[in-house]
Structure 1
Amino acid sequence: MLKLNLPYPPSINHYWRHVGQRVLISKKGREYRAEVSSYLNRKRVEPLVGPLSVDIELHMPDRRRRDIDNVLKAMLDALQWGGAFLDDNQVMRLAIEKVVSENKSKPKRRTKDEIAAGVEKPKPLQGEAIVWIAEVQTENLAAADRICLRCQKSFASLGPANRICDGCNEDNREISPNAEPTWSGKRHNGKAL
């Protein structure tokens, strides 16, 4: 299994450019492919052969609203181009999760004293994509190894709906049945939708 920490991919809206009658990969798209390729070369990744399972955890660079499906094409193409696998049609199972940053504020500006003291300029938040790629057996695809959504470890799954390992399930059973879920999404009359 491969675990890769990739930079946040460009949106599909910025990945393609129309030049006359042709559709080409944009400058941002080419730079992203080159960055992923050099990362894979530094890690000496050999191309995986056979059917694959890909789990992606997207850490958003800021709190703007974003569609997570807009980054899949750029990321899978860059992984293929960089040599993580031979072709993206090898992907039999694909899971993606969005993680929104809790940091709501912009980086604070330096004071004159900090500039004089040589304090570096704060870097803007940059998102990242953590990718797990694992080979799967096609004859036993329903009971394939999956990545636990809670602890991020591989485990023998009982089927597509089983996404949490036994250890994390035990932790879930210990939680009180009367506990209120912490849902930060949409609400209607105070109740989570």
Structure 2
Amino acid sequence: MIPTLKTKRLTLRPLSKSDQSAMVDAIMSDMDVMRWLPYSDAVSTFEGQQEVALGYINDFIKPWDTLGFGVWAICIGDTELGPVGTFIGYCGFLPEQIEGSGPEIAYAVRKSMWTKGLVTEALSACLDWIFIKPEIHFVHAVTDRENFASRRVMEKIGMRHEKDVDLYGSVAKGNGLLPFYYIDREVYIRNRPD
């Protein structure tokens, strides 16, 4: 069973295929958000946005059954941000892409929710949850070199830039090496703010 996580301002709940339209509205239809995400070249039409959203949702749900982790829907949990329950993005974990690196952090939120500390808040809840699992010793994240906001989020949750990697065909696509961030359970728990 996929848990629901709550923070001061957010609810992280299981994603479902019924979130497709909300994901299109919050993520796929906004090129300022999509420019940092896979398949940004496929969302120029509404049909493409629908297809990419459903693909994301399927990829985000699948690991829950096989690996015991996955990606949650981020929803508003505080009326000061808007109507409670409104889908604003996603966060959680994907299967490791580099052997021995642990699950990969994935996240995106609606542009109107940027700069409010919501991704940091959501990811902190995700890390608290995953590091309870004894088999998970570390997690990693990658981002575009120029995505400074995402890099700051990774640093705020205690991750450190370890190296640069060719992942998802980044070099072949002309994007160069991607910054690889990493954190292990012991470091996270030791430095976790109360």
What TM-score results when the alignment is normalised by the length of structure 1? 0.25
Give 1 or 2 for the bigger CA radius of gyration: 1
Q: Which has the higher contact order (CA 8 A, sep 6+)?
A: 1
What TM-score results when the alignment is normalised by the length of structure 2? 0.25
Going by fraction, where is helix more abundant, 1 or 2?
A: 2
